[in-house]
Structure 1
């Protein structure tokens, strides 16, 4: 097909430094060809199936529709509103009959018809001109309207209508060219002859979202001049070049979808994938999960409730392998509560993939680590291959060989999840429910993966509101989801099932999934069922003792219990209490106390996580377990870290979290000192002599709330002087603590009723607040997703500020910690390893990238005390303006301390040391 000179003169990309430019017709051809190649070779087969569903499963029809939409995505550039932006290119268009004003100033309302929403209108008009119903045409046009990352809303669509602002669209020759270009793409993609038959197809919201995501990726690749060079000359001839895009994608080297072939025998599968010792067999829960994964008739939600240490992670990965093979998923996403647990899981997932690769499986693909500090994870950074031509593809990696690699192009918050395998903090998954730019890419990434959510009990009402919204969309995409917990309240389990089933067309109000423990709950279509699993026989009897909230008593207990050696874990609910306990214990046990909490710089957090695992991890890891030691920690040790202690002292917390902490007690088989040979937990952080117990104020007001603490106190106090059997008592304790029945002595009832009223009011308020920026659930087929991202928060952000978007409360302020020496010069902290300490830091110019990378490892999350404008202004006032030119640290204000670690914010004194982290003092002195 040929094009008129007028159509050939329309530009898509303005001239580069050498005078090359990109005609719109060429960008259309490139984008369509890229979309076709991605459809053929890159999309997970499950996503291809989703695309084919509206067309009766006809894959070829779906391909033609998507390549057409990708080809016409920039149709809105064939308008005066866009073309007038470049003087010389606009003049060339005028010479071929496309009139427009001489400059942008003559079209002051250009912004009303951004080329994305203009493209929406032009495609709707073109399709309506062929006899299409406008409602159907809008479900195609909205893909064009959303290709810059935000779907148009009804107001912007109305304001940009051609009959409202005709001067922005042009007439006569302009309209002929617009129609000519649309027809050109229709012919090139082979859809021209099918358009009449497609007019009655009702596209689902899922199709529109995923199609927009695919068009965005196609546009980005087609816009990369390093891959697809610009043209020279005034009107390059229209010539089909099938090798142009093929060469570009060969250079980009995007990974193919994962195509696993799971081993049929469960014993062999677990032995080879997870390096089980000779003769070891999968545990009953692992066998049951694998069996169910092989039997389920269709993708669904699988909730695994089993004790700590039963191998739920391995069971989930085995299920993911089976699900991916059965239903053609192209990868796996694993979500966890914290950065520390995510880093630990990343190593486990990589080992699983390497074991699969050693079995001659096709595993090669891209992997990503998804959290705000991923660039400091050495294992992940080592997976980036050496040599990055044009920052696109990569050569083979130096160092240890792994089955997967990190891909240079699949990085950043918008593209990273498109990698085959992703190990991420839960925020990355929750962002899929947040009205944010380029959300379609996140959905495109999730729709082709098995999703595993670890520690699913660990999220509050605000985060659960996002989680259930995301589960509804995952259900709509028929994505298999595996949710893991040792301590899941029945009400929360039902909420998860209900949310997923809504996406499958079911309704809320599914029956309680059962009371057995361990248990598997699974969904099929719009129904769910639960089945009991035989316990493994591993059990721990934990003696429970109340302990007054007195540090001298704590010292006395630990002095006696550790007289013959041993490792004790003391868990506090706030950093202030961690440091107070550590102060007192260090005086009694000098050199035998370690502090762990969230207020350490990144480099120190990573070091401490490693030290915990080396000293107190599994027998194969903990090669340097000390004779006697005490770890005083906040909740950072609560989730997913495989650490093992002989004795536990814990603040009162909601019962599921107390049980999680108990899961770090006698976790592995090993010889223990006589006095701690029996597992024992001491419960403190409340005055249990009062009726009801007097709660620690900060935990009751700011951390957990009084009501869940009081209900936890009821069920735990009943065990004082007795034992809790793990896992036998877990289900009953969680069910009673989270149930609706009144519990506790009569004299507690009035206080508990008041606490409950406050709790319900707060929960309702948080859920209402969470809904403000959430996406709508999938709409009925045939309705355009116009306004789907209304009230957008802009870009998502996995740093502390971004986490505030899906976590309740004020976002934490982060600062970059530096040390001022005696001469007033700024330096990196002296204790940093590998020659990174005491480096001078310039203030009059941006630091070099290698120094900036070291400085970025000194980022510190400040307590909420400083989450206020005054503190932020003070820190930014001290930050050199020249640092704004550094891409690695431009977002971080500076906190400068002296050689002793002392500094000030808001006239409050503070101190940072590598042993104790950040301390904030009550007075300004």
Structure 2
């Protein structure tokens, strides 16, 4: 009799003719399935670079490394062959009891039992590594495949009865030997595994974390019934080898093909490196930055850190994409993730990455996914998901297969674009954090707008860079403006062994940092705003804006007005919208519009203010918050801005005269009075000592004050020549007062010292908070023990706090305003979109509700709704899309016709032109 056919690995109950039937998949089949998926992943998905990284880290032999890894994956659930686990289905436990296999009731997890069962077996065969205790780390890795690493106490409290005695030990031995046979693994490899031997401790932990993620992912695939349906054909022991080995291998290959993981990689084995013009056919002439990259590709090895510092509009993004193409083709890297600061910038970058992959992946089928909290409402992403269901190989090769859309799987996809938060979570103690790190291993990670992250986010990012190097990933950092201290910190974090002195060639520059050293190149810029083309600086009063803008645009043109706060942008829009009657177009963009409306406005802004030949045909005014200073390809003739830190002002200036030519190579036409780029700064309020006063500034007061007194005396700024000098002046720690403010020096000294102390204390607190939240250092001997708690992603509370883990933000929530008449509730003011808050919604209805939501961070609104027990309908709580979505029924003002709701402090209006408009009652 074949006892193994009765040891179940997966089981489910069903009712047939009033009789309960239990179907199950034999454990040996599931173990073989998992090993088969691991084998297929190595053969069909892992690139040569990743295989080399693993082989060099383990046994210096690809075949031995492969066989050992797939054995670990295959054996991960051996703890299910125990009296504890098999007792969980009493009906099946009775059958085993009749066959002489006892049950033992306990709440011990099978994942923890797995590590101990394997360890006990290896001890029984006198394996030296097991006797010496060198295999202890593997108990944690195998025991953590459900997302949480066990602790020593979990192992210590196990007793022999938990693992099983007598006949159970024979069953376990038989299962292990079959998996060993399938994987063709030599157990002597356990004796030469480099844990606690010749690998650095940090590299050991990185390797273990990779293996943990690998095991979890292959288990997810092998546990999917649609790929591995329950098998009942094991009548004899020989059926396992003679039949099921080949059945499982066939299923595993089909699974990888179906989920969209295999099929794209062939390009990274034998692909020829395409020329820049083939990859980017619309670029007729390489820019100096791009020429330097192309000329120095031979100096880029994997893993490397490449930092590109250049003004806006110099082609940094295309250069980064081309490096990714080179590393994938020449070095065999595993795909890419492109990280951006906001959802809006991620949405725009998603389109560019899709076009890039379309150019280089013809004839293949490659997955690209959008990763952020509201990706589901992206039309472009939805198109790729639809295309994956109807793929015929003749259209674009880029798809978005559904398997990667589930939570925790996005970073596993070959290519992804999203917010930086998604990768920062990789080094925070979330359940299955190691799956995220596994997904990033061996890839190219492109991080845009690197200057825009504060001390808290930068601390997490620096730690991530350390892990990425250990995992064989290359990183490309892009920035227009970066203080030297931050530049050096990022380089030293990625490659700690380089010399203290990092070559500091003039800005703009490219820094290539690898195990072979650091090389720095500088270059001329294409859009050099110097001499007659330097940016004119003027300081203006806010009340003069309507008149000055009207005059500046008399012959046509585009102006952007950037406000630091939504409320200011709304107020300025109200003051300027009267210009519409004089033939001006006036647009408003900020974050307090419903998602569907904000997406429409963003697309309109890109269309109206993007790359275009004729700037004198219209008179256009865009009033916006900081949204437009990052990663959006916009081109203005004139810009007006609130005072902001100097690096962000340069970012904003980067949208001035951004293009010399339109898409067709024609010169951009600008009005005569705007031939030279102009940047007007709105004067802040100042006190009697000419020191600016700020009410609740969103930026560091110390940096704002230094920006003010270094920029105030200037009439123009040369780009790029003045960028680095001004940034260094503002961000160094000196308190030197420019001569223009000598008369008020004493007062300035006092104000600056107070502001600096406040900034230093806040940054120290935020840096400490970030370090406290990180996973342990990989060089920590007690790494697995020192993760004291895990946050679960799949709960409402966890989702609400995920962003608070990666950013220091004001608490926020999602709010949907509902309109009401006698017939019910509606999502729109016109009462065309009825909505129910009582019954379940279809998926399409849920997405429509999400599209009408606004993210609100106002404290008064937040506290009103977060403390209400009925502001989230019960039916919404059960939805993965709407479980944190609050609603409010709006009241119509009979006089103005506007819709609003009240809080203790505010009147809150839902206005089509303004978005959510919050007006203080006092």
Normalised TM-score (structure 2): 0.89
- Alignment map for 1:847-862 (pairs within 5 Å): 847-862=841-856
Comparing 797-806 with 286-295, greater Cα deviation is found at: 797-806
Whether 2:91 is the aligned partner of 1:98: answer: no
Question: Which residue is 1:334 aligned to?
Answer: 338
| Alpha-carbon separation, structure 1, partners of 2:369 and 2:616 | 32
| Distance (whole Å) between structure 1 residues aligned to residue 319 and residue 437 of structure 2 | 25
> 1:814 aligns to what?
814
Match status 1:844 vs 2:838: yes
Question: 1:127 maps to which residue?
Answer: 122
Q: Provide the residue aligned with 1:406 in structure 2.
A: 400
Q: In the alignment, what sits opposite 1:717?
A: 712
SS of the equivalent of 1:380 reads helix
* Structure 1 position 117 matched with structure 2 position 112: yes
Conserved? CA contact 2:812–2:858, under 8 Å? yes
Secondary structure at the aligned position of 1:487 is classed as coil
Determine helix, strand or coil for the equivalent of 1:570: strand
SS in 1 for 2:459: helix
Distance change (3 Å), C-alpha of 1:633 and 1:801: farther
Equivalent in the alignment of 1:576: 567
SS in 1 for 2:129: coil
What does the per-residue CA deviation read over 1:781-825, in whole Å, with 9 as the maximum and x for residues that have no partner?
xx67523643322228996642221001344211233322x3262
**How do 1:288-299 and structure 2 match up within 5 A?**
288-299=292-303
- 1:366: Cα distance to partner? 0.8
The structure-2 alpha-carbon separation of the partners of 1:197 and 1:760, relative to structure 1 and needing over 3 Å to count, comes to same
Q: CA separation of 1:685/1:189 partners in 2, compared to 1, >3 Å: closer, same or farther?
A: farther
Q: Tell me what 1:391 maps to.
A: none
Secondary structure of the residue aligned to 1:653 is coil
Query: Is the Cα–Cα contact under 8 Å of residues 856 and 862 in structure 2 kept in the other structure?
Result: no
Change (3 A) 1:784 1:404: farther
Contact 2:864 2:903 in 1 (8 A): no
Pair 1:558-2:549 in alignment: yes
Asked if 1 retains the 8 angstrom alpha-carbon contact of 2:813 and 2:885, the reply is no
Question: Residue 178 of structure 2 is aligned with which of 157, 181, 184?
Answer: 184
CA distance in 2, matches of 1:200, 1:674: 70
Which residue matches 1:521?
511
1:491 aligns with 2:490: no
**Structure 2 counterpart of 1:421, from 406, 415, 425:** 415
Tell me whether 201-210 or 804-813 shows the greater mean CA deviation: 201-210
Q: Match for residue 390 of structure 1?
A: none
- Contact 1:255–1:364, Cα closer than 8 Å, also in 2: no
Q: Which residue of 1 aligns with 2:678?
A: 680
Give, in angstroms, the shift of residue 466 of structure 1: 0.9
User: After the TM superposition, which residues 660-675 of structure 1 pair with which residues of structure 2 at under 5 Å, given as runs?
Assistant: 660-669=651-660, 670-675=668-673
Distance 1:80 1:251, change over 3 A: closer
Aligned residue among 522, 534, 537 for 2:524 = 534
Distance in 2, Cα, partners of 1:687 & 1:784: 54
Structure 2 unaligned blocks of 5 or more: 15-20, 661-667, 739-744, 893-897
Q: Distance in 2 between matches of 1:619 and 1:447?
A: 40
Q: Which residue of 2 aligns with 1:140?
A: 138
Query: Does 2:64 align with 1:70?
Result: no
Determine the structure 1 residue equivalent to 2:733.
740
Task: Answer yes or no: is the 8 Å Cα contact 1:685–1:695 preserved in 2.
Answer: no
Which segment drifts farther, 370-379 or 603-612?
Answer: 370-379
Q: Which moved more, 1:745-754 or 1:863-872?
A: 863-872
Task: Map Cα deviations across residues 388-414 of structure 1 (whole Å, 9 max, x no partner).
Answer: xxxxxx44169x921221111111231
Distance 1:839 1:589 in 2: 30
5+ residue gaps, structure 1: 102-106, 388-393, 832-836
What is the CA distance between 1:520 and its match in structure 2? Answer: 1.1
| Deviation at residue 652 of structure 1 after TM alignment | 0.9
Q: Cα–Cα, structure 1 residues 114 and 706, in superposed 2: closer, same or farther, change >3 Å? A: same
Rate the CA distance shift 1:152–1:522 in 2: closer, same or farther, 3 A: same
Report how far residue 689 of structure 1 moved: 7.2
User: In structure 1, what is the Cα distance between the partners aligned to 2:249 and 2:834?
Assistant: 48
Distance 1:901 1:666, change over 3 A: farther
How far apart in 2 are the matches of 1:20 and 1:572?
Answer: 63
Q: Which residue of 1 aligns with 2:248?
A: 244
Contact 1:306 1:518 in 2 (8 A): yes
CA gap of 1:339–1:397, structure 2 versus 1, over 3 A, is farther
Match of 1:10 in 2: 7
Distance apart, 1:244 and its partner CA = 3.0
Alpha-carbon distance between aligned partners in 2 of 1:49 and 1:470, rounded to the nearest angstrom:
22
Aligned ranges 1:196-211 → 2 under 5 Å: 197-198=191-192, 202=197, 204-211=204-211
1:355-754, aligned counterparts within 5 Å?
A: 355-357=359-361, 363-385=364-386, 394-396=389-391, 401-502=395-496, 506=497, 510-525=500-515, 527-536=517-526, 538-539=528-529, 540-548=533-541, 550=542, 552-590=543-581, 592-619=585-612, 627-669=618-660, 670-684=668-682, 686-687=684-685, 691=689, 693-699=691-697, 703-719=698-714, 722-745=715-738, 746-747=745-746, 748-754=748-754
Q: How far apart are 1:49 and its partner, in Å?
A: 2.0
Task: Decide whether aligned partners of structure 1 residues 466 and 796 sit closer, same or farther in structure 2, where only a CA change above 3 A counts.
Answer: farther
Q: Secondary structure at the match of 2:385?
A: coil
Q: What is the match of residue 663 of structure 2?
A: none
2:277 and 2:468 mapped to 1: Cα distance?
Answer: 31
Matched ranges for 1:749-898 at <5 A: 749-779=749-779, 785-787=783-785, 789-795=787-793, 801-820=801-820, 822-823=821-822, 825-830=824-829, 838-866=832-860, 868-874=862-868, 876-898=869-891
In the alignment, is the contact (CA less than 8 A) between 1:299 and 1:323 conserved in 2? Answer: no
Q: Deviations over 1:874-895 (max 9, x none)?
A: 3x51333233344432331213
Structure 1 residue 6: deviation in Å?
Answer: 4.7
Contact conserved, 1:497 with 1:528, CA < 8 A, in 2?
no
**CA distance in structure 2 between the aligned counterparts of 1:405 and 1:224, rounded to whole angstroms:** 21
Q: Is the Cα–Cα contact under 8 Å of residues 228 and 245 in structure 1 kept in the other structure?
A: no
In the alignment, is the contact (CA less than 8 A) between 1:773 and 1:792 conserved in 2?
A: no
CA distance in 2 between partners of 1:784 and 1:49 (Å): 28
Distance verdict in 2 for CA 1:625–1:863, change over 3 Å: farther
Q: Which residue of 2 aligns with 1:104?
A: none
Counterpart in the other structure of 1:834: none
How far apart are 1:263 and its partner, in Å? 9.3
Higher mean C-alpha displacement, 147-156 vs 587-596: 587-596
Correspondences of 1:194-233 after superposition (within 5 Å) = 194-195=188-189, 197-198=191-192, 202=197, 204-232=204-232
8 A contact 1:151–1:788 mirrored in 2? no
Aligned residues: 873
1:64 to 1:867, Cα distance in 2 relative to 1, 3 A: farther
CA RMSD of aligned residues (A): 2.7
Aligned equivalents of 2:786, 2:402: Cα separation in 1: 31
Contact 1:644-1:667 at 8 Å conserved across structures: yes
Distance 1:264 1:255 in 2: 22
TM-score, normalised relative to structure 1: 0.89
Distance of 2:24 and 2:616 partners within structure 1: 65
Structure 1 contact 911–919 (Cα < 8 Å) conserved: yes
1:200 positional shift: 5.9
- C-alpha offsets along residues 478-507 of structure 1, whole Å, 9 cap, x if unaligned? 2111111110111111111111114xxx27
Name the CA shift for 1:624/1:684 in 2 (closer, same or farther; >3 Å): closer
Q: Is the Cα–Cα contact under 8 Å of residues 473 and 777 in structure 1 kept in the other structure? A: no
CA contact (8 A) 1:655 1:712 kept: yes
In the aligned structure 1, how far is the partner of 2:686 from the partner of 2:518? Answer: 41
Alignment pair present for 1:27 and 2:20: no
Q: What is the distance in 2 between the residues matched to 1:29 and 1:319?
A: 39
